[in-house]
Amino acid sequence: MTTIKRVPIAPLLALFCLLVLPGQTAEAEPGDVVLKRFSPSLGDFAPATFPHWIHIMQYKCPACHDALFKMKAGSNRISMRDILAGKFCGKCHNGKIAFASTFTTCNRCHRK
Ligand code: HEC
Ligand code: HEC
Ligand code: HEC
């Protein structure tokens, strides 16, 4: 009888890990943010997407929040001109810390 009672624990634990744990990490770690376009756009040129995950692997939140970026989607007036001048993403995406904005890298940020 005791062995029969013990059996369901393993599948229940597995189910807990599958259903509950991913939900918790999704809440703790912000995901991709599609950045709002403030500057005049080139037709339907794809907006830039900011992937949190690759940055969070290397930086703590205060590396960007709130000195570089306010923590609210669409609240930062980012433009290519500012990035090329070393502001916002350009603080790191300058060819030294991370890949720069060149014609071979446009689509790494501007993804359809
Ligand atoms: C490091 C990431 C990054 C790279 C690389 C990058 N951009 Fe951007 N770009 C942005 C962000 C962020 C914005 C502001 C949000 C938006 O408008 O999509 C932006 C905005 C723009 C805009 C809207 C108008 C403007 O001037 O702000 C255009 C057009 C644009 N980029 C073109 C390009 C082209 C062409 C390249 C390659 C030469 C490029 N971008 C490379 C991040 C990047
Ligand atoms: C490399 C820079 C960077 C790092 C590091 C970073 N963020 Fe962000 N975060 C951004 C950018 C860029 C945005 C988008 C701002 C915008 O849309 O104007 C953003 C937006 C957000 C938002 C708003 C999302 C929404 O939908 O409104 C939250 C919440 C957030 N970040 C939390 C965090 C937390 C928590 C950490 C640390 C685990 C973190 N960020 C690390 C750059 C960063
Ligand atoms: C604090 C420094 C820092 C800031 C600020 C920053 N990045 Fe990055 N980013 C990095 C580093 C480091 C990498 C990984 C190294 C590399 O790919 O050159 C990276 C990688 C990326 C990648 C590549 C993801 C992939 O699929 O390989 C994208 C896209 C990107 N960043 C977009 C952005 C955008 C858009 C912004 C501004 C909204 C931004 N980053 C701001 C440091 C930064």
7 inside domain? no
Q: Where residue 29 falls among pLDDT bands split at 50, 70, 90?
A: confident
Integer Cα distance of 67 and 110 in angstroms: 24
The residue ranking higher by pLDDT, 95 or 14, is 95
Q: Residue 92 CA: which ligand 2 atom is closest?
A: 1
> Token digits for 87?
């502001």
In tens, the pLDDT along 48-96 reads 999 999 999 999 999 999 999 999 999 999 999 999 999 999 999 999 9
Structural domain including 60 reads 29-109
18 inside domain? no
**Count of domains in the chain?**
1
**Residue 46 Cα to ligand 1 middle (Å):** 9
**Residue 61 Cα to ligand 2 middle (Å):** 8
Integer Cα distance of 68 and 76 in angstroms: 9
> Token digits for 9?
């624990």
What whole-number percentage of the chain has pLDDT above 90? 67
> Token digits for 51?
């992937």
13 inside domain? no
Is the distance from the beta carbon of residue 33 to the nearest atom of ligand 2 less than 6 Å? Answer: yes
Amino acid at 10: A
Strand partners, 33: 50
